[in-house]
């Protein structure tokens, strides 16, 4: 089930990024602390009142060409209107209502999307009166907040979650493997979908961004039902979309949330670019099984080391996803396409794998015996008990004497031992450290 999407919209310097960071808290640390992940982010995951939601900071979207502020703000608002379930419209309480605010308000008003008005920089009680003029924008009660101090955010988020759409599950069933194809425009996603399906189900064009929306294509192969969620192109009409490469990340988010397996399609002819890391990082953070698919391999000039070198480039660029298999193919010539679904089946199985508790404890006990945890100021980490608490992604909890004694390098060592014993190929592995309570 896809998380609701909240977009933060407003003119520059109203504090969008500060509020974005406060909404997502420290969740970016899951990925950001790992080497090889781009830090240039405009999306994250927030949580409020047991609701998880994706957050988009439109201030991170750069519009090329005419750099007039009003045009840029308008373009960002249009992107948010297309993608968001709820829009947080941010204004500056100190500056009052501006022409740019009115411009954005008109766009949002016409969109018919739920809009929650946030008046930032209401840093103390004396400034509370500054919010009243913003009633003129036509979005009901303005919520006074302070990005600097974090005040007022609770009331704002209370209102935001009221507008989330009702939970909707697709009706494909648990046995269906949901596969999302993601990647920047013109890497050959539509061609790959058509080749797998064996029919011209999706428009294919050399013009980047031909496909307008995610398209579901259910099919069955060797008794296994699948649905391909194709985000091919990940762009819509107009120059705004053509000049906003980062927009593809926004298009991919919904598809990733619904998927069991994510195919990260890379153009073998052009190689890896920064945007590929944005999209892959989101798949990793969402805990999805993933496969790197290098397409257009038929047009790459090759020698005996070309594939080996490209594999190493992927490993170097995506250090946080060493678990993901890499497949080289050509949708056009159908070279190696027959290997795709078996790999999808395998990583989907690994993603849903559950290890018996006693077997897991044996592996961890052996790992600790071979390489005991290092001491920290005379104290040593002691692992009392290990259990797998969930799947998709596999999540393992270590009950220890003191979680503070778990060093990231030792956690990585244990993860490698777990993967060595059980595989977990193609899937992220979540390892959580908890203090063993006295009654356990």
The answer on whether 57 is annotated among ligand-binding residues is: yes
Check the annotation: does 315 bind a ligand: no
Q: Examine residue 170 and state whether it is found in any structural domain, yes or no.
A: no
- Distances in Å between the Cα of 174 and the Cα atoms of 1, 202, 310, 348 are 12, 25, 35, 12
CA distance linking residue 262 with residue 292, whole number of Å: 9
Question: Both 140 and 226 in a single domain?
Answer: no
66 in a labelled binding site: no
Q: Is 17 annotated as a binding residue?
A: yes
- Element housing 73 (H / E): helix 69-83
Q: Is 48 annotated as a binding residue?
A: no
Global confidence as pTM: 0.72
Residue 90 labelled as part of a binding site: no
**pLDDT band (50, 70, 90) for residue 401:** very high
Assess if residue 76 is contained within a domain.
yes
Please give the residue range of the domain that contains residue 339. 177-351
Please state the φ and ψ torsions of residue 281, each to the nearest 5 degrees: -60, -35
Position 159 pLDDT exceeds 50: yes
60 annotated among ligand-binding-site residues: yes
Tens-digit pLDDT profile for residues 23-65: 887 544 334 444 444 344 567 788 898 888 888 877 655 444 4
Residue that has been written with the tokens 């990733």 in this structure: 256
298 in a known ligand binding site: yes
Lowest mean pLDDT among 56-65, 185-194, 373-382, 394-403: 56-65
Residue scoring higher pLDDT (172 or 8): 8
Tokens (6 digits) for 435: 């203090």
Could you tell me if 307 and 420 lie in one domain? no
426 is in an annotated binding site: no
402 is in an annotated binding site: no
Q: Is the CB of residue 96 less than 8 Å from the CB of residue 135? A: no
Tokens read off for 236: 């819509």
Q: Does 354 carry a binding-site annotation? A: no
Tokens 């009706």, residue? 171
Is 418 known as a binding-site position?
Answer: no
Lowest mean pLDDT among 15-24, 230-239, 377-386: 230-239
End residue of a domain, out of 351, 370, 392: 351
231 is in an annotated binding site: yes
Same domain, residue pair 365 and 345: no
The residue with greater pLDDT, 288 or 275, is 288
pLDDT attached to residue 392: 93
Burial 306-343 (b: 16+ CB within 10 A, else e): ebeebeeebeebbebbebbbbbbbbbbeeeebeebbeb
| Cβ-contact 240, 78 below 8 angstroms | yes
Q: Tell me whether residue 270 is in a domain.
A: yes
With respect to residue 71, please indicate whether it lies within any of the assigned structural domains: yes
Is the pLDDT score of 300 beyond 80? yes
Supply φ then ψ for residue 398, to 5 degrees.
Answer: -105, 120
Question: Does residue 329 share a domain with residue 185?
Answer: yes
- Asked if the structure places residue 171 within a domain, the reply is no
Residue range 68-111, pLDDT digits in tens: 666 666 776 777 777 789 999 999 999 999 988 888 888 888 88
Measured at the alpha carbon of residue 241, what is the angle toward residues 240 and 247, in degrees to the nearest 5? 120
Q: Does residue 238 sit in the same domain as residue 385?
A: no
122 known member of a binding site: yes
* Per-position b or e across 402-433, b if 16+ CB within 10 A of its CB: eeebbeeebeebbbebbbebbebbbbbbbbeb
Q: What is the pLDDT of residue 308?
A: 94
Q: Is 98 annotated as a binding residue?
A: no
For residue 253, say whether it is annotated as part of any ligand binding site: no
Tokens 């913003």 belong to 134
Please indicate if the annotation marks 378 as binding a ligand.
no
Q: Is 96 a known ligand-binding residue?
A: no
Provide the domain count of the chain.
3
Annotated binding residue at 209?
no
230 belongs to an annotated ligand binding site: yes
CA atoms within 13 Å, Cβ hemisphere of 274: 6
> Which band of pLDDT confidence, cut at 50, 70 and 90, is reported for residue 167?
low
Residue 4 clears pLDDT 90, i.e. is over it: no
**Backbone φ and ψ of 118, nearest 5°:** -115, 120
Task: Look up residue 245 and give its DSSP letter.
Answer: T
Same domain, 154 and 20: yes
Tell me whether residue 15 is annotated as binding. yes
Say whether both 342 and 366 belong to one domain: no
172 part of a folded domain: no
- The reply to whether 272 sits in an annotated binding site is no
Q: Is 427 annotated as a binding residue?
A: no
Any binding-site annotation on 13?
yes
Annotated binding-site residue? 168: no
Specify if 402 maps to a domain: yes
Domain assignment present for residue 96? The answer is yes
Binding site annotation covers 14? yes
- DSSP-assigned states of every residue in 133-197: GGGGGSSSS-EE--TTT-TTHHHHHHHHHHTSPPP---SS-TTSEEEEEE-STTSSHHHHHHHHH
CATH code, 325: 3.40.50.300
For residues 344 and 384, membership in a common domain is answered with no
Residue 274 has pLDDT above 60, yes or no: yes
Indicate the residue among 324, 351, 378 that finishes a domain. Answer: 351
147 and 183 belong to one structural domain: no
Q: For residue 244, what are the contacts with CB-CB under 8 A and spacing of at least 6?
A: 61, 62, 63, 64, 75, 79
Give the CATH number for residue 380: 3.30.300.20
Give the three-class secondary structure for 235: coil
Angle, alpha carbons 411-20-261 (nearest 5°):
50
Of 58, 41, 50, 59, the C-alpha closest to 6 is 58
335/189 same-domain check: yes
Query: Who's near 292: CB < 8 A, 6+ residues apart?
Result: 264, 266, 280, 314, 318, 321, 324, 325, 326, 327
| End position of a domain, from candidates 101, 136, 162 | 162
Percent residues over pLDDT 90 in the chain: 45
157 and 185, same domain (yes or no): no
- Same-domain check for residues 271 and 214: yes
The pair of structure tokens assigned to 416 is 């490698």
Tell me the C-alpha distance between 329 and 294, whole Å. 6
């Amino acid at each position: 089930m896809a998380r609701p999407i909240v977009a933060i919209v407003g003119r520059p310097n109203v504090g969008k990024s500060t509020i974005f960071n406060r909404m997502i808290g420290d969740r970016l640390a899951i990925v950001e602390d790992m080497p090889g992940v781009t830090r240039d982010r405009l999306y994250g995951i927030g949580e409020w009142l047991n609701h998880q939601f994706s957050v988009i900071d439109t201030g991170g979207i750069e519009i090329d060409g005419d750099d007039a502020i009003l045009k840029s703000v308008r373009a960002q608002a249009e992107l948010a209107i297309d993608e968001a379930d709820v829009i947080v419209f941010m204004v500056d309480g100190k500056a009052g209502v501006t022409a740019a605010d009115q411009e954005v308000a008109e766009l949002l008003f016409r969109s018919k999307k739920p809009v929650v008005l946030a008046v930032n920089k209401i840093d103390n009680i004396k400034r509370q009166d500054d919010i009243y003029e913003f009633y003129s924008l036509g979005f009901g009660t303005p919520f006074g907040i302070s990005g600097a101090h974090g005040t007022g955010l609770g009331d704002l988020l209370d209102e935001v979650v009221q507008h989330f759409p009702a939970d909707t599950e697709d009706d494909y069933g648990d046995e269906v493997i949901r596969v999302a194809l993601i990647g920047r425009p013109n890497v050959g996603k539509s061609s790959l979908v058509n080749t797998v399906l064996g029919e011209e189900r999706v428009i294919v064009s050399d013009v980047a961004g031909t496909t307008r929306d995610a398209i579901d294509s259910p099919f069955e192969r060797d008794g296994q039902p699948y649905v391909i969620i194709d985000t091919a192109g990940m762009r819509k009409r107009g120059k705004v979309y053509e000049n906003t490469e980062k927009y593809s990340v926004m298009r991919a988010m919904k598809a990733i949330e619904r998927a069991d397996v994510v195919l990260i399609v890379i153009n073998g002819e052009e190689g890896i670019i920064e945007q590929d890391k944005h999209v892959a990082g989101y798949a990793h953070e969402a805990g999805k099984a993933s496969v790197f698919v290098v397409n257009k391999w038929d047009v790459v000039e090759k020698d005996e080391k070309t594939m080996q070198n490209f594999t190493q480039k992927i490993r170097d660029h995506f250090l946080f996803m060493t678990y993901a298999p890499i497949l080289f193919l050509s949708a056009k010539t159908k070279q190696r396409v027959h290997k795709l679904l078996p790999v999808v089946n395998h990583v989907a199985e690994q993603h849903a794998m559950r290890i018996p508790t006693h077997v897991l404890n044996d592996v961890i006990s052996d790992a600790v015996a071979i390489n005991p945890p290092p001491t920290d100021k005379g104290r040593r980490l002691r692992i009392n008990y290990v259990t797998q608490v969930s799947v998709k992604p596999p999540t393992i909890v270590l009950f220890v004497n003191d979680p503070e004694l778990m060093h990231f390098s030792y956690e990585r060592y244990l993860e490698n031992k777990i993967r060595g014993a059980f595989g977990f190929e193609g899937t992220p592995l979540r390892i959580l450290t908890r203090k063993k309570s006295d009654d356990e």
